[in-house]
Structure 1
Amino acid sequence: MLTIHPPREELADLLATGPFADALRVAIQVRGLSLERLQHRLRVRGAPISVTALSYWQSGRRRPERPESMTALAHLEDVLGLPRAALSRLLGPPRPRGRSRRREESARTPWDGSGLVLTAQHDRVEVAPCGGVRGVRSRQVMRAKAGAVDRWILCHETGTAQGAPQPALTAVRSCRVGRVARERTGGVLVAELVFDEPISHGESIAIEYELIYPRPTVEHTHFRRFAEPVHDYVLDVDFTAEPASCEQFASGPAGAELFGGARPASVDHRGRAHAAATDFGPGLYGMRWTAAENVAENASGSSSHG
């Protein structure tokens, strides 16, 4: 497994040679801004773009092509302190559309998972007594919309503090871990999950993977961003200590709250909370909670002693 930590000096070379996704990813790392902060600065400039789109651009899953995306990219270059057209020039000519594009896609093997449609997602989250996430086990069901698709690109927002150890990624079922790139500044882990066998157009695959944190996260939440509708999403949260509060929430692509805002999520006698959505997206869906005050205080006191 290869772990990539791009140094600052690589940015000039990447801006000269590309590819676009690598140049964008390293430019964001050098600038030291999270995807959320980039989104905010672009919105202020009148060029709204979703965090999901930014994540896909820097991972190579998608590329800016529409006029509004190209406008946002021009502002993004300025926010990142790059010369004008430093990134856009790496895109090259627009990709073919319509029948010619479908013929091209059917003839190639997508390395980035763009030939897949996510149909179902199940996340099981383990929460430490302090309220931070200790581990996440995920099961995904995907269908191929192109021929011979052999991998999925995972983009995971780690929720860890800057400089904190990143989670360990383990393949559990029907896949193995390929290349891994860890974004220290943006808190994003990008990794290839390579299938045991490629799947053809119309075929489905179910994969499982697990993320284990060396220390619980500072964030007391877990959510998924869906760029496209997903038929089923299930979120189970297991609490080691009963939380003071727990709620589920959802928002649309532009950030507007859905379903009338956050709703309480019940925690049963075994410390388990559950939420599910059907035919959801695009948008964000998840749960957040507050640790019991005495537990949080004890965790804070013990951590201060190393």
Structure 2
Amino acid sequence: MPDGVSSLPVDRELRRVLRHGTFAQVLDHALSARGLSLERVQFHLAGHGVRVSRAALSYWRHGRSRPERAESLRAVRALEAVLDLPAESLVSLLGPPRPRGRLKAGPDAIDRRLLWPAHRPLLAAVNAPQDDRVRLLDVHEHVLVGDDRGLVSMRSRLVLEAAAERVDRYLVFLWAEGSTAAVPVDPKYCRLGRVRVDDSAGATVCELLLEQRLAAGERTVVEFSSEFPPGHELTFFHHRFTRPIRQYVLQVEFAGAVPVGCVPFRQANVHAPRHLGAPLWIGASRTAHLVVTDSPPGITGLLWEWD
């Protein structure tokens, strides 16, 4: 037992949650009963030779993720000692580890191979890590449409959250209809890793290597630009999300003529029909603004009509 930490009374509520509760419920109850902050828990775990991020402890406590890897299970056993819980009481509540095979589509996720069918060979070429290691929280994209009504450039800002330990990269997918593939340039808060392109499909897969390795629950921001070669007249722009997104901001600026109409749309997948929203106003800035919050996985974007 750590110095300065009194023994936790085995009260009726603790016995109940140990018998009938989940891992998160037992951990939350034990922490509350002890009156320990997550910072103090980190300090005591370090005394056991274990280091866990505050974000990871918070995620475990609130049931947003669970420890599965060998180093995380060692941390759980140390937690049992720090919280004066019976040996294996927390570990036994974790159950068998979740399968770690290929990601399958579910109610809150879409397999990226279904959303990006033209990119499948490129994914194999970069030996892509599982898609569930990083959560995409916020996306801000500024798109420039040129005088020729074609796609000129895009500037992207992404807020990422690690959903696993030791996350050090993120995959970006680009697609340019009717032109050769674009490659990200001018990365900020990251650097470019492996890039694979298929000019015949206008498809690009690129690694963004993060400035630091993230523990589960830690967040970072990355930015990059994409410049597109001349292509077809552009009538829409969208982003494809494999998981729910907290916020998506899309700004489409028209350097030349302004469309006669512009509406937001959403699709469940690449083969589903488009569901249109209310028309958007394009003002003196010659820019259409779309702001979407708490959106489910799928395709979200803007559709416009030229005169």
For this structure pair, what is the TM-score category when the shorter chain's length is used for normalisation? 0.5 to 0.7
- Unpaired runs of 5+ residues, structure 2, are 1-101, 103-111
* Other structure's SS at 2:247 match: strand
The residue aligned with 1:129 is 147
* Other structure's SS at 2:115 match: helix
Cα distance in structure 2, aligned partners of 1:158 and 1:278? 26
- Unpaired runs of 5+ residues, structure 1, are 1-20, 22-48, 62-109, 293-306
Cα distance in structure 1, aligned partners of 2:117 and 2:228? 25
The residue aligned with 2:207 is 192
Deviation at 1:111, TM superposition (A): 4.8
The residue aligned with 1:9 is none
Deviation at 1:219, TM superposition (A): 3.0
Q: Give me the CA root mean square deviation.
A: 2.7
* Other structure's SS at 2:238 match: strand
Residue 169 of structure 1 is aligned with which of 176, 184, 189?
A: 184
* C-alpha distance after superposition, 1:174-207 (max 9, x if no partner): 1111111111232211111111221111100110
* Other structure's SS at 2:161 match: strand
Q: Which has the larger radius of gyration?
A: 2
Equivalenced residue count is 193
Quote the sequence identity (%).
24
Deviation at 1:157, TM superposition (A): 1.4
- Tell me if 1:229 matches 2:244: yes
Alignment of 1:206-285 (within 5 A): 206-241=221-256, 242-253=258-269, 255-258=272-275, 261-285=276-300
Alignment of 1:44-123 (within 5 A): 51-52=114-115, 54=117, 57-60=120-123, 111=129, 114-123=132-141
Cα distance in structure 2, aligned partners of 1:145 and 1:58? 25
Cα distance in structure 2, aligned partners of 1:157 and 1:174? 23
What amino acid does structure 2 have at the position aligned with 1:136? Answer: M
Contact 1:143 1:205 in 2 (8 A): yes
Residue 195 of structure 2 is aligned with which of 180, 193, 213?
A: 180
What amino acid does structure 2 have at the position aligned with 1:268? Answer: G
Contact 1:139 1:209 in 2 (8 A): yes
Cα distance in structure 1, aligned partners of 2:181 and 2:175? 10
- The structure-2 alpha-carbon separation of the partners of 1:50 and 1:149, relative to structure 1 and needing over 3 Å to count, comes to closer
The residue aligned with 2:4 is none
Contact 1:113 1:150 in 2 (8 A): no
The residue aligned with 1:14 is none
When the two structures are superposed, what TM-score results if normalisation uses the length of structure 1?
0.57
Deviation at 1:118, TM superposition (A): 0.6
Deviation at 1:243, TM superposition (A): 1.9
Deviation at 1:122, TM superposition (A): 0.7
The residue aligned with 2:83 is none
- The structure-2 alpha-carbon separation of the partners of 1:182 and 1:169, relative to structure 1 and needing over 3 Å to count, comes to same
Deviation at 1:216, TM superposition (A): 4.9
Deviation at 1:280, TM superposition (A): 0.7
The residue aligned with 1:155 is 173
